Amino acid sequence: MVYILSVETATKNCSVSVSGDGVVLLTKEMAEEHFSHAEKLHLYIDEVLAELDLKFKDLSALAVSKGPGSYTGLRIGVSAVKGLCYALGVPLIGVNTLCILAEQLTIEHGLIIPMIDARRMEVFTAIFSADHQIVEDTKALVLTAGVFDYLKPQQLHFIGDGAPKCKELFIADNCVFHDEIQYPSAKDMTGLAWQKFLAKDFEDVAYFEPFYLKDFLVLTKKK
- The 8-class DSSP code of residue 111 comes to E
Closest CA to 184 of 92, 20, 73: 73
Exposure b/e, 54-79, CB count within 10 A at least 16 = b: beeebbebbbbbbbbbbbebbbbbbe
CA proximity to 100, closest of 181, 215, 37 = 181
Instruction: Determine the pLDDT at residue 174.
Output: 92
Contact residues for 89 (Cβ-Cβ < 8 A; gap 6+): none
CB 81 within 8 A of CB 91: no
What is the per-residue pLDDT for 215? 54
**What is d(CA 96, CA 150) in angstroms, rounded to the nearest whole number?**
25
Report pLDDT digits (tens) over 89-118.
999 999 999 999 999 999 999 999 999 999
Residue 214 confidence (pLDDT) above 80: no
Predicted confidence at residue 33, as pLDDT, reads 74
The total of other beta-carbon atoms located within 10 Å of residue 20's CB is 18
Dist. CA 153–CA 1, nearest whole Å: 46
Task: Judge if the upstream peptide bond of residue 68 is cis by omega within 30 degrees of 0.
Answer: yes
Q: Please state whether 200 falls in left (phi above 0), alpha (psi between -120 and 50) or beta.
A: left
219 has pLDDT over 90: no
Tell which residue, 132, 8, 124, 134, has the closest CA to residue 65. Answer: 8
Residue 193 CB coordination number (10 Å): 26
pLDDT score of 77 more than 80: yes
Give pTM, 2 decimals. Answer: 0.93
Backbone angles phi, psi at 193, to 5 degrees: -65, -40
User: Containing H/E element for 195?
Assistant: helix 190-198
